[in-house]
Amino acid sequence: MSFCSYRFATKRYQQWPSRRPAVSGRPAQAGCQVRWICGDRRKRGRVLLTNHVLSGALIGALARRPLPAFAAGLASHFVLDAVPHWGKWHSRRHFVRVAVRDGLVSLAAMGALTTVSTPDRRLAVLAGMAGAALPDLDKPVKLWFGRSPFPRAVDRFHMRIQDEAAHRLPVELLAAAALAPAALIALRARRSVDRRWRRLSR
């Protein structure tokens, strides 16, 4: 038995039924094969939702209409997922813990960025953020209902483009540190342009 297996052997085990694996603290039922595990290497992560929201806000601030902002935000989600990022969770509990915090931060960011947007750009900013966040709707839906709301082809493509590693959390933080000021600068620049235009039109 390897050191990794020995370390986790006293903590938990995973039961593998005929098709669907399940994690339980109860003894294995008849017909289930018990296997000691050290994390599930098949767990895959995606770019933090907060970064998708920030990129969508930046796109919405630069766009003039909601529909192009939504489409560009949607495309930006897959672009960000294709670049190296943080992921490969060690357990479902780890994933849920990160996802809940990330979701709360994302909601707060959406509310703040929508509030600071000018009235004529607000809908475009909201559409950009909604489009950028939409593909990750499969996470809570799978968690609560056990299936994805998207076609299998979309899910396969979404998983295939992922380039994640467990040591890339600093990449996510650096991306957020760059996207947040960029979105705020774009929103402020639009607000300044709108004010100057109003003054000239008087």
Mean pLDDT of the chain: 77
Percent residues over pLDDT 70 in the chain: 70
pLDDT for 174 equals 93
Max intra-chain CA distance, the chain: 81
Quick check: 84 pLDDT over 50?
yes
111-120, 144-153, 160-169: least confidently modelled range: 160-169
Report which of 121, 111, 120, 127 is spatially closest to residue 74, judged by C-alpha positions.
127
pLDDT tens-digit readout, 7-21: 444 444 333 344 444
pLDDT for 127 equals 97
pLDDT for 166 equals 81
pLDDT for 18 equals 41
pLDDT for 58 equals 96
pLDDT for 13 equals 34
Q: Quick count: other Cβ atoms within 10 Å of Cβ 62?
A: 20
pLDDT for 168 equals 86
With contact defined as beta carbons under 8 Å apart, do 21 and 15 qualify? Answer: yes
pLDDT tens-digit readout, 69-78: 999 999 999 9
Residue 97's pLDDT band, with cuts at 50, 70 and 90, is: confident
The secondary element (H helix, E strand) that includes residue 66 is helix 66-82
32-36, 62-66, 192-196: least confidently modelled range: 32-36
Percent residues over pLDDT 90 in the chain: 46
Residue 118's pLDDT band, with cuts at 50, 70 and 90, is: confident
Instruction: Pick 132 or 6 by higher pLDDT.
Output: 132
Quick check: 91 pLDDT over 90?
no
Mean pLDDT over 150-167 rounds to: 90
d(CA 18, CA 181): 50
Give the residue extent of every domain in the chain. Answer: 3-35, 49-201
Instruction: Pick 126 or 95 by higher pLDDT.
Output: 126
Torsion of CA 94, 97, 100, 104, to 10 degrees: -120
d(CA 19, CA 65): 47
